[in-house]
Structure 1
Amino acid sequence: NHGWTMAPGLLHGAYECLKHHGSDALKAQYLEKIATGEWLATMCLTEPHAGSDLGLCSTRAVPQEDGSHHISGTKIFISGGEHDLTDNIVHLVLARLPDAPPGPKGLSLFLVPKFYADGTRSAVVCERIEEKMGLHGSPTCVMRFDAARGWIVGAPGKGLAAMFVMMNAARLHVALQGIGLLSAAWQKADAYAHERRQMRAPGASQTSAIIDHPAVRRILDTQRAWIDGGRVMAYQTALELDIARYHPDADRRQRAERWCALVTPILKAACTHQAFHGGSDCLQVFGGHGYVREWGIEQHVRDARVAMIYEGTNEIQAIDLLVRKVLADGAAGWLAVLAQLRTDVDGAHPDAAHCLDRLVELTRAVIRASAGDAALPYRLADDYLRACAVALLGWAGSRIAAVANAAPSPARWQAPLTALRTCVLPEFDMRAAIVSAQLPSPA
């Protein structure tokens, strides 16, 4: 239930943000309630004139004699901005101090509660609830701050650094939303395909369940390959998060941090893209019934669309991957990750190995070409990220294949693994060709 999970979805990130950047007084007053979910939290970033370009934010924070600040401005697209699910709401708000420079470096982060400790309500008003395409179970609000009293979180001018702790957690959460939505759509479509009887499948003598028609089977097995592979990538990232925090070896912690930094934008973009487009394919299994609301599948398609947009659009994820991370160190970190993945893929999985080997070549070619054209990586970023996602999915499939025969019901894994090889991994060469076609010819 995408709408419902929006309510507690930001709590983990809010907790980490406050834990690492909040004052002792703020942590003592708010951290426990956030950790238990007794109070929900919001992330107040976007403004009407500033979508993803947070440097344009103009909300003001005026210092007061008691150390607090008065926050004034309007924020839009605020998930859970107003509701009565919990006794209090903790708003984390980006705003500018009076002497702050323009742009992102002038932003500071502030905590403004809905209610103060004495029970009085803050000067925060929900002007309206956005009427959205989907996600109707979650209130998305326009919030107006009228000199609302709040307190700074972290250092002045370091608001984005503090907020990114929350945003990175949210991006991984959104990736899992994508996997969950695709899985929910697949489950509905698979159940329907086993029940609905239409025409005769090839070789059948009577009307067949549509699951027996190759066209339907291909749709379902392809989406199952994305679900299974996406989960493997997500679980590996969860392990790496723990390793980055707790492993005794500093080098291993560094490698884990590198994985998380590089794979987070891939997971967010690829899994949410597939949730919408793969969910639409699952709707196709229902035929006309899929377009009718009572069957439930259309809700997943509507809900999934926003996941490609919020917490940084998928295009921003692609730029983050290629420009800010891969090219930043000459791809040394990313090539090290690919080398490790390649050792996991043995000769039994030549298609997955091909994708990883070709991705190394493609990455090096992009690095060379980008040296003479600063705009080039921005043009290539979307297709490059998708190529990375497909290559990672091939690696994930090899991990699944390694244990599938020993798992309960081994036959359950074979059809998605076949679809991965025949219907998913060939996309890599297409994406690589699109990227390569935009590279200058060798002199």
Structure 2
Amino acid sequence: WLATMCLTEPQAGSDLGLVRTKALPQVDSSYRLSGTKIFISGGEHDLSDNIVHLVLARLPDAPPGPKGLSLFLAPKFMPDGSRNPVFCERIEEKMGLHGSATCVMRFDEATGWIVGAPGRGLNAMFVMMNAARLHVGLQGIGLLEAAWQKANAYAQERRQMRAPERGTSAAEADLIIEHPAMRRILDTQRAWIDGGRVLAYKTALKLDVIKHHPDGEDKAEAERWCSLVTPVLKAAWTTQAFNGASDCLQVFGGHGYVREWGIEQIVRDARVAMIYEGTNEIQAIDLLVRKVLPDGGIGLTTLLQQLKRKLDGTQVLHTAVQAQVTTLCELTRQLVQANTSDKALAYWVADDYLRAVALTLLAWAWVQIGQAIEPGTQNTRWSQPATALQHWVLPEFAMRMQIISARLP
């Protein structure tokens, strides 16, 4: 069986407190669910024998807002084989991601059963939501990888003009992979892909620690990592998936805008990842407003300082990461202090703050990559994206710091 997450409604996008779907209790301990949900991935299909809908709805005596939401399970087919009155009204025609149909779902007094305690629906749903956010972050990395592979293959065979560093050759034109403009695009995306993978895999290992490690302190450290890094992975790498895929389309020139080459599909498909499972703006607010500021910045500062202490070396990238950690920790302290008098400030700068954290983690990830390469090894596979990281990616950190600092009192 496959399942759905039925949260969103026409009037309630990211603001789930506005959900109106009703759940009426029955004498047999079941509930009758009535309402409309939108953007439901896999809401109707014949790929499995049954579909289990997990539905946010309100009990008759529920208070308004998110605290009034409970979670219910409503299958497409009942245990006796009869059809539950859950219907797909239409399939939404999306900009991209056509391989995953999303449906408008109507519940006409459908039978369901409550999951967990009344009024705790969002708490239960966020178990799935946090996992989905990590999946979407990985989807961003995967889409960017797919775009890079297409663009890199094209650049290895397409000849256009003379490359400035090639001098003269017998060929009528040089491969575009030899042009600095193309190298910059491709190496920059490679830096984001490889660094993102390091962070995603480290997060997967931390999830295993949370689930299996016997030591409570190690579990707490892993929970801190997952809590703080999940919104960063989701937001920063889905943003890069779209922007980077668009840059990869540029490698194709006019051919990139033509469907037969396939790169335009990746650009369209990547755009939705910035929106669903909580928009990237909501991820930024989650990081700064809900996770960093409430504990006075201690959690994030502790995580960053731990990463900094594990850096041993004086290489350029090591020094850059250490400087970024110091700057970010000081800025976090200033934001915590400013938040006491200006509650709106954090919402204004949340996106820039998340981006700064992402750039710091990305730089740290590349230190780990550098340490894993055997000393003395000359490998352009790693050296070229590492150079791109330093020249064209990390300078953005200073810009983000300046934007945030300009708003501080």
Q: Same fold (TM over 0.5)?
A: yes
Secondary structure at the residue paired with 2:293? Answer: helix
Query: Is residue 2:398 matched to residue 1:429?
Result: yes
Secondary structure at the residue paired with 1:115? Answer: coil
CA distance in 1, matches of 2:373, 2:382: 6
Secondary structure at the residue paired with 1:286? Answer: helix
What is the aligned length? Answer: 402
2:274 corresponds, among 304, 308, 315, to: 308
After TM superposition, the structure 1 = structure 2 runs for residues 281-292 of structure 1, keeping only pairs within 5 Å, are 281-292=247-258
Superposition deviation, residue 116 in structure 1: 1.2
1:180 corresponds, among 142, 155, 178, to: 142
Query: Is residue 2:328 matched to residue 1:359?
Result: yes
Partner of residue 381, structure 2: 412
Partner of residue 134, structure 1: 96
Consecutive unaligned residues in structure 2, runs of 5 or more: none
2:193 corresponds, among 205, 223, 227, to: 227
Partner of residue 220, structure 2: 254
2:357 corresponds, among 388, 394, 417, to: 388
Amino acid at match of 2:174: S
1:153 corresponds, among 115, 123, 127, to: 115
Partner of residue 366, structure 2: 397
CA contact (8 A) 1:383 1:435 kept: yes
Superposition deviation, residue 421 in structure 1: 1.1
Could you give the per-residue CA deviations for residues 253-293 of structure 1, whole angstroms, max 9, x where no partner exists?
00100110011000100010000001100110000000001
Amino acid at match of 1:390: L
CA distance in 1, matches of 2:42, 2:288: 32
CA distance in 2, matches of 1:120, 1:61: 20
CA distance in 2, matches of 1:87, 1:68: 22
1:68 corresponds, among 11, 30, 38, to: 30
CA contact (8 A) 1:266 1:318 kept: yes
Amino acid at match of 2:250: Q
Superposition deviation, residue 344 in structure 1: 2.5
Partner of residue 44, structure 1: 6
Amino acid at match of 1:432: M
Could you give the per-residue CA deviations for residues 133-178 of structure 1, whole angstroms, max 9, x where no partner exists?
0011111000000000010000011000000001000000000000
CA contact (8 A) 1:331 1:363 kept: yes
After TM superposition, the structure 1 = structure 2 runs for residues 14-413 of structure 1, keeping only pairs within 5 Å, are 39-204=1-166, 205-206=168-169, 207-346=173-312, 347-348=314-315, 349-405=318-374, 410-413=379-382
CA distance in 1, matches of 2:372, 2:86: 54
Cα distance change, pair 250–407 in 1 and its aligned pair in 2 (3 A)? farther
CA distance in 2, matches of 1:62, 1:369: 46
Alignment root-mean-square deviation, CA: 1.2
Consecutive unaligned residues in structure 1, runs of 5 or more: 1-38
Amino acid at match of 1:410: N
Amino acid at match of 2:320: D
CA distance in 2, matches of 1:358, 1:271: 22
Cα distance change, pair 143–400 in 1 and its aligned pair in 2 (3 A)? same
CA distance in 2, matches of 1:211, 1:418: 16
CA distance in 2, matches of 1:413, 1:368: 41
Partner of residue 438, structure 1: 407
Partner of residue 20, structure 1: none
CA contact (8 A) 1:74 1:142 kept: yes
Q: TM-score, normalised by structure 1?
A: 0.89
Superposition deviation, residue 203 in structure 1: 3.3
CA distance in 1, matches of 2:44, 2:376: 46
Amino acid at match of 1:150: G
CA distance in 1, matches of 2:3, 2:344: 38
Amino acid at match of 2:352: D
CA contact (8 A) 1:322 1:381 kept: yes
Superposition deviation, residue 84 in structure 1: 1.0
CA contact (8 A) 1:344 1:395 kept: no
CA distance in 2, matches of 1:199, 1:300: 27
Could you give the per-residue CA deviations for residues 362-419 of structure 1, whole angstroms, max 9, x where no partner exists?
1111111111101000001000000000010000010001112369983311101111
CA distance in 1, matches of 2:51, 2:259: 33
CA distance in 2, matches of 1:203, 1:103: 62
Superposition deviation, residue 82 in structure 1: 0.7
Amino acid at match of 2:276: Y
CA distance in 1, matches of 2:320, 2:301: 19
Partner of residue 11, structure 1: none
Identity of aligned residues (%): 70
CA distance in 1, matches of 2:321, 2:297: 21
CA contact (8 A) 1:352 1:425 kept: no
